[in-house]
Amino acid sequence: MLFVGERGHLISNYDKHELGPGDTFQNWIRPAKSIPPSIGHHAEWIAACKARTQPTCWFGYAGPLTEAVLLANAAYRGARAQVVSWDAAAMRIGNNLAQKFLDAPLRAGFAG
């Protein structure tokens, strides 16, 4: 994952976090770890089912995250270099070229 900001960038994955450019962040000190290590998505889901608890990536978190990722892909593919608006209640993006990536044909027997 690459995040680009006004003063630099962050490259991050499960195993590393790299700030750059190096001279800008040479005195940066990593904060103390505050999130416990994961036992893995599948193991955590099974443990939550057995204990009747909520996993860290529950649907209330994962749903909006997935919406944002899919929306970003639709905007990237259909509305390059254009500003788009998003109506979450109506599930409509303010660009017809990008909207086509969000509208999938429904299978027989399903209504939209």
Quote the pLDDT of residue 42: 92
Written as six digits, the tokens of 52 are 């009747």
pLDDT digits (tens, 9 = 90+) for 77-105: 888 878 888 998 988 888 888 888 888 77
Tell me if 96 is assigned to some domain: yes
Tell me if 40 is assigned to some domain: no
The answer to whether residues 95 and 84 touch, using CB atoms and an 8 Å cutoff, is: yes
Tell me if 14 is assigned to some domain: no
- Work out how many domains the chain is built from and give that number: 1
Q: Note down the domain range covering 100.
A: 58-105
Q: Percent helix, strand, coil in the chain (nearest 5)?
A: 30, 15, 55
pLDDT digits (tens, 9 = 90+) for 55-73: 888 888 888 889 889 888 9
Tell me if 85 is assigned to some domain: yes
Query: For residue 9, what are the β-bridge partners?
Result: 4, 20
Tell me if 33 is assigned to some domain: no
pLDDT band, residue 15 (cuts 50/70/90): confident
Q: Is the pTM of this model over 0.75?
A: no
- Average pLDDT rounded to a whole number, residues 1-13: 90
Q: What's the rounded Cα separation, in Å, for the pair 76 and 82?
A: 9
